[in-house]
């Protein structure tokens, strides 16, 4: 999509986004996750870091060969250049990179890049085809821009924590920065959409994503209950407000998640449990009935489940066509994915530099994701990128200089 010479070592023709140059000024999680997904699909991503590096380089333990696994998990297929934007020479290099880029991704405080000439208005004046994605915590308006955009804070403010944990206990955060991840996904969707529009119009646009809007969208049925039903959702532990059974249930040696999401699945469940009469009991015949009478239904199911192990029940219940699953540790989850043929782990790089990584989540029949580069060391590609930026170059698929 660009007319300048390719970056040194760039593999042209590799992946559906081959030829797309991404200038990645983001750090920590949401932005780097989005740009890694784009890089997996062939985009050429230049990771611009401050001289001290992305914060996640220091987020350890755990580590692999002394490098934070947090950083390793979201930065493959990228090239790193360290630039001090307060230095005039480095700032000029950053502006030239943005001028050449098809996509710019940043998560600075709103207006924070303007003093370096790297805000959307300035970049798009020199590069009208640029798709410029900004990720903030609470939007770019004057009220939201003043608020710090951390996932944990958004989990609290959005209401997620009010839904997580024991009903009689305190609110809990999710075990992963879930809204950073969702915002990263939304940013990737926004970038791809804007690139598609650019194919028709020849012009880029400003794509804005914020964690709170991503959170409210990602809370789906819970926010719908609030805005459409006038209901304030509350903490229910592992129970579901609208479905039953849909939670962990104790077996002889531990718990098994059982989810009977409709009347047919419930009938199959009680048949395999040897309790077929429950399917016709008026208290349990419909999902609405089961949800209302869950305190009466649960002991009947648990009494039977406790007679066998969770593994024995898992195979029988799955065999009957009812969704269920064990509560695994993360390593067991990876192993389970491997056991069912999903090949969840890929190795990026070779020899001592090789890094095991989680496979790109999307499968394409014709243009698969690729794993070209391990996560870069700080400024690993700085010298070659600086030389490349010093070469004559333009932007745009039409070959005209910017």
Q: Which residues are marked as active site?
A: 180
The CA-CA-CA angle for residues 239, 240, 241, to 5°, reads 120
Report residue 137 as tokens.
Answer: 């915590």
Phi, psi for residue 297 in degrees, rounded to 5: -80, -40
Report residue 205 as tokens.
Answer: 């646009």
285 touches 270 (CB < 8 A): no
In the chain the first and final C-alpha atoms are separated, in Å, by 13
> Angle of helix 263-272 relative to helix 310-319, nearest 10 degrees?
130
Give percent helix, percent strand, percent coil of the chain, each to the nearest 5. Answer: 40, 15, 45
Helix (H, G, I), strand (E, B) or coil at 207: strand
Helix (H, G, I), strand (E, B) or coil at 213: helix
Report residue 274 as tokens.
Answer: 């040897």
Q: E strands within 1-148?
A: 21-25, 44-49, 63-64, 67-68, 78-82, 103-106, 131-136
Residue 82: closest CA among 387, 380, 388, 374? 380
286 touches 295 (CB < 8 A): no
Q: How many residues does the chain have?
A: 402
99 touches 127 (CB < 8 A): yes
CA atoms within 13 A on the CB side of 242: 9
Pairing of strands 44-49, 78-82: parallel
């Amino acid at each position: 999509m660009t007319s300048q010479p390719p970056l040194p070592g760039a593999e042209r023709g590799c992946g559906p986004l081959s030829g797309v140059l991404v200038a990645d000024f983001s750090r920590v999680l949401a932005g780097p996750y989005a740009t890694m997904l784009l890089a997996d699909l062939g985009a050429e991503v230049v990771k611009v870091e401050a001289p001290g590096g992305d914060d996640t380089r220091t987020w350890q333990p755990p580590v692999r060969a002394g490098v934070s696994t947090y950083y390793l998990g979201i930065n493959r297929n990228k090239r790193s250049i360290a630039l001090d934007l307060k230095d005039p020479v480095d700032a000029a290099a950053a502006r030239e990179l943005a001028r050449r880029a098809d996509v710019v991704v940043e998560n600075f405080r709103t207006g924070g890049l303007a003093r370096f000439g790297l805000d959307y208005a300035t970049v798009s004046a020199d590069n009208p085809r640029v798709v410029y994605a900004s990720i903030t915590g609470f939007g770019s308006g004057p009220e939201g821009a003043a608020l710090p955009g951390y996932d944990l804070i958004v989990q609290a403010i959005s209401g997620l924590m009010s839904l997580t944990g024991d009903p009689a206990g305190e609110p809990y955060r999710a075990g992963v920065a879930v809204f950073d991840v969702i915002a990263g996904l939304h940013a990737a969707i926004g970038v791809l959409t804007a690139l598609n529009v650019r194919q028709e119009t020849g012009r880029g646009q400003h794509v804005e994503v914020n964690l709170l809007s991503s959170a409210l969208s990602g809370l789906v049925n819970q926010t719908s209950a609030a805005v459409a039903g006038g209901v304030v959702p509350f903490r229910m532990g592992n129970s579901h407000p609208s479905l039953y059974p849909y939670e962990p249930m104790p077996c002889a040696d531990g718990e098994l998640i059982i989810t009977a999401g409709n009347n047919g699945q419930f009938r199959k469940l009680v048949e395999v449990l040897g309790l077929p009469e429950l399917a016709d009991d008026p208290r349990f015949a419909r999902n609405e009935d089961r949800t209302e009478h869950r305190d009466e239904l649960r002991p009947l199911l648990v009494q039977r489940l406790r007679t066998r192990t969770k593994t024995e029940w898992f195979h029988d219940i799955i065999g009957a066509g009812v969704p269920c699953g064990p509560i695994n540790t993360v390593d067991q989850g990876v192993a389970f994915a491997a056991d069912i043929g999903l090949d969840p782990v890929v190795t990026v790089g070779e020899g001592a530099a090789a890094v095991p990584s989680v496979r790109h989540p999307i499968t394409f029949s014709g243009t698969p994701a690729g794993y070209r580069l391990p996560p870069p060391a700080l400024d690993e590609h700085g010298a070659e990128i600086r030389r490349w930026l010093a070469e004559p170059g333009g932007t745009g698929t039409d070959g005209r200089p910017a």
